[in-house]
Structure 1
Amino acid sequence: MCQPLIQKYNIPGPRYTSYPTVPYWDSNTFSARQWKKSVLNSFEETNISEGISLYIHLPYCESMCTFCGCNKRITKRHEVEEPYITSVLKEWQLYLDFLPNRPLIKEIHLGGGTPTFFSPENLQQLIKGILKHAELANNYQFSFEGHPNNTTKAHLEALYEVGFRRVSYGVQDYDVKVQQAIHRIQPFEKVEKATQLAREIGYTSISHDIIFGLPFQSIDAVENTILKTKALMPDRIAFYSYAHVPWIKGNGQRGYSEQHLPSAETKRTQYQLGKELLEEMGYVEIGMDHFGLKTDELYQSLKTNNLHRNFMGYSASKTQLMIGLGVSAISDSWYGFAQNSKSIEEYQEMVGRGDLPVFRGHVLNDEDLMIRKHILNLMCHLQTDLNEENRFFELPETLHRLQEMEKDGLIKINPDSLQITEKGRPFVRNICMAFDLRLQRKKPETRLFSMTV
């Protein structure tokens, strides 16, 4: 990859799991009443035709992984499990109380934290409680994030029994020095065992998360991790750049400094090498940072133009309404966003008194909806239509901002469309930023986002 391009475009930028991005939400005019109305509108439009998705945040971990920027609570006290599950089910009931019909559930994803911190019995209790007052869509998809060190056969069997067929394991890197720096010690044998167990039980899609740009991580370390992954051949791989954001409150990214991180040029070399190795192994690059075998649903969704992206990342199917349950979980009705309280205690207190535990959100206006569609198209399909019905008032200014990228060969602007070239794939976040009208109108005065390269 051309070094001048890396130096030119390596700037802080969003990952665009939403538009507007969270720092640009207009929370001052947001209310729980507006959020309920937004959920109802979306539910009535799509529940029968496509169903809804649920994201459930399970925040507990037994130890701190210092690369992680997620909302988590470090504890070894497992007596927290049952009260937390009780609160999540109470929150779900708050939604059921105002929805006009039984929801049709198409997707459930358990994220964290460490979902497998919870016992198999408690995880089953959670899912059975969710499904008790709902219907299942055809071809529903349930997935969870598993820690290779503590995902047991009992966990896999319990979740399989209630419909889970996809598991994602956080591998990160197999190099011992890197693992020590990020406080995530897990030998290859642990990942191998967890992967084989899932296959034996009947999971049809197994994913590994691999990160480049970690502290003390060399190019050889990335190569070694991917070559070891070849022995297991997971169905899909998330191969993404480490986001160094230690300024976020509560973040554990303070066990090392920026001088211990690979340079931007080294990171792109790590990515390019990893991409080449994965493609040699039979993986196809999908959207941004994701690779899938041609037998996996994520690849199939790419070919049928059904690839979707939301706060859970890339998904093989789309639902307009995604309800987030649990502390800090984010919901998306397409017309609005809402985030739950980030404090476990406050979350449980609000749910306990019968209030939806949202503390901020955003209702999208017509311009937001148009820009959101363009950014989603670019993130999923590397192109977007610019025909008459997809034009917006500031499109000329947007295209002007993109002229330099077109000169650099990152995009191709046609009369009625914009396409990202193969050369431009690593800079998809930068291209989306040109469409981000809220970002363009008000540049952040402090650092909000990780670097794009």
Structure 2
Amino acid sequence: MNSLIDKYNIPGPRYTSYPTVPYWDNDSFTPEKWKQSVIKSYNESNSKEGISIYIHLPFCEQLCTFCACHKRITKQHSVERPYIESVLKEWDLYLEIFSEKPKIKELHLGGGTPTFFSPENLKFLLEGIFTKSQIMDEYEFSFEGHPNNTTKEHLKTLYDLGFRRVSFGVQDYDEKVQKAINRIQPYESVERVTNWAREVGYTSISHDLVFGLPFHSWEKMEKTIRRTMSLKPDRIAFYSYAHVPWIKGVGQRGFDENDLPSGEEKRKLYENGKQLLQKLGYKEIGMDHFSLEHDELYQSILNKKIHRNFMGYTSGKTQLMVGLGMSAISDSWYAFAQNEKTVEGYQKMINERVLPVVKGHILTNEDLIIRRHILNLMCQLETSWDSQTIFPEIEIAMEKLKEMQSDGLVEILENKIKITDKGRAFTRNVAMTFDLRMLRKIPETRIFSMTV
């Protein structure tokens, strides 16, 4: 395994989209083209499957130095209501595009720290969305909660609005690791909010763990996993720490790179963690995710309904996902669009009644074919092709896949490949063999985190 890590531990995308953001063709993208793609997607899908909404709530009271998200650090809670009013105005701009009342199938509050906002303001935001929409019979509403500031009132308020899934960012329980990443969070806080969520009635509780953080060792990671098991969350996201300090605005300089585990050590954290999670009853889902058998995410694997987008893995697919808020990314299936990345710039565009998209990509027919292959690999760990889904560089891809087959990472069948259990750890590498935009234009500088 160590030789495989040396061979395949290279910079690579996480594939929450294809093309990946650095390969978007912004020159040919316009807000008007984005609107037309939204109309097309909406008309095709709203009545049948509804839409998804992602709302980016960017404020945090302190900077966690492992975080690569777009956020704004402040302790001034007076920012809450003006920001929410801007999000609702943006929603109104989308309502003007839609031909009929939207049907919401999925809604996720991400951040930043959604629980930075008061329960009253979250209710004001969500009721502002819901009063102008319909809710599908089978819907899923979820939010990210910070264990240190999520109150029982937060949980009850959101539960009453239809939320049944909550994800708590745990990361790690070791004090030295927490200090390095500036995320001091006692086990007692996580225990308290997890128990509250169960008391209130949440049916899917997730804990996010991160491996590969500064000063990480298997001894520390094992203790974190076992403490997590004592609370028995329904899902566990077991993320690889993505070290990308070169990206502007990312606060990943609070520790020395020498404090990070090596690729070999990091892979050991994952492999040992995976074995322990499976021993404790968790099923591996795609890449980086685990769940108990009763959870809807695992059921979506069995029913082949699992999907992956900018929100990560979801238990169902919608063709149209509308991202609201500063830096939020939207996906119409035919195009991607990202909002202005500063709060002030975002609010200025909203106040001028301008849809705040500032960059994006219109997918070509070839993009759509490759996107489907990469989605298949990330969700089902296999893909196949025929005359309609073959692509020009298939022979180049096959040469790389044959090498991966000799390493035991994939199984090649007639017009089909499957990622083996050994190859799961290298799913991103397998997907990269289909990434035509990267094959045709190798990055001149480092733009992605390491695959291991």
How is 1:53-452 mapped onto 2 (pairs within 5 angstroms)? 53-452=52-451
1:255-279 deviation per Cα after TM superposition (whole angstroms, max 9, x unaligned): 1121000011111111111101100
**Which whole-Å CA distance do the structure 2 matches of 1:280 and 1:230 have between them?**
11
1:283-319 deviation per Cα after TM superposition (whole angstroms, max 9, x unaligned): 0000000001000000000000000000000000100
Conserved in 2, the CA contact under 8 Å of 1:149 and 1:190?
A: yes
SS at 1:339 equivalent: strand
**Which whole-Å CA distance do the structure 2 matches of 1:396 and 1:8 have between them?**
21
TM-score by length of 1: 0.99
**Which whole-Å CA distance do the structure 1 matches of 2:377 and 2:335 have between them?**
20
**Which whole-Å CA distance do the structure 2 matches of 1:436 and 1:331 have between them?**
21
Partner residue, 2:34: 35
**Which whole-Å CA distance do the structure 2 matches of 1:67 and 1:328 have between them?**
19
How is 1:42-53 mapped onto 2 (pairs within 5 angstroms)? 42-53=41-52
5+ residue gaps, structure 2, are none
Conserved in 2, the CA contact under 8 Å of 1:166 and 1:205?
A: yes
**Which whole-Å CA distance do the structure 2 matches of 1:423 and 1:73 have between them?**
40
Shift of 1:389: 2.9
For these two proteins, the number of residue pairs brought into alignment is 452
SS at 2:281 equivalent: coil
SS at 1:106 equivalent: strand
Shift of 1:403: 1.8
1:328-382 deviation per Cα after TM superposition (whole angstroms, max 9, x unaligned): 0000000000000001101000011110000000000000000000000000000
SS at 1:125 equivalent: helix
TM-score by length of 2: 0.99
Q: Does 1:23 align with 2:22?
A: yes
1:21-69 deviation per Cα after TM superposition (whole angstroms, max 9, x unaligned): 0000000110000000000000000001000000000000000000000
SS at 2:370 equivalent: helix
**Which whole-Å CA distance do the structure 1 matches of 2:75 and 2:85 have between them?**
19
Conserved in 2, the CA contact under 8 Å of 1:54 and 1:324?
A: yes
* Equivalent residue letter for 1:79: S
1:380-425 deviation per Cα after TM superposition (whole angstroms, max 9, x unaligned): 0000012333212221121122221111111111112110011110
SS at 1:413 equivalent: strand
Conserved in 2, the CA contact under 8 Å of 1:42 and 1:320?
A: yes
**Which whole-Å CA distance do the structure 2 matches of 1:101 and 1:424 have between them?**
45
The CA RMSD measured in Å over matched residues stands at 0.6
* Equivalent residue letter for 1:441: R
**Which whole-Å CA distance do the structure 1 matches of 2:290 and 2:52 have between them?**
23
**Which whole-Å CA distance do the structure 2 matches of 1:285 and 1:44 have between them?**
35
**Which whole-Å CA distance do the structure 1 matches of 2:33 and 2:220 have between them?**
49
Answer with 355-364 or 409-418: which moved more. 409-418
Conserved in 2, the CA contact under 8 Å of 1:386 and 1:418?
A: no
Conserved in 2, the CA contact under 8 Å of 1:288 and 1:428?
A: yes
* Equivalent residue letter for 1:375: I
SS at 1:252 equivalent: coil
5+ residue gaps, structure 1, are none
Conserved in 2, the CA contact under 8 Å of 1:387 and 1:417?
A: no
* Equivalent residue letter for 1:108: L
* Equivalent residue letter for 2:70: N
* Equivalent residue letter for 1:117: F
Answer with 387-396 or 90-99: which moved more. 387-396
**Which whole-Å CA distance do the structure 2 matches of 1:144 and 1:230 have between them?**
21
SS at 1:402 equivalent: helix
Partner residue, 2:6: 7
SS at 1:423 equivalent: coil
**Which whole-Å CA distance do the structure 2 matches of 1:382 and 1:258 have between them?**
32
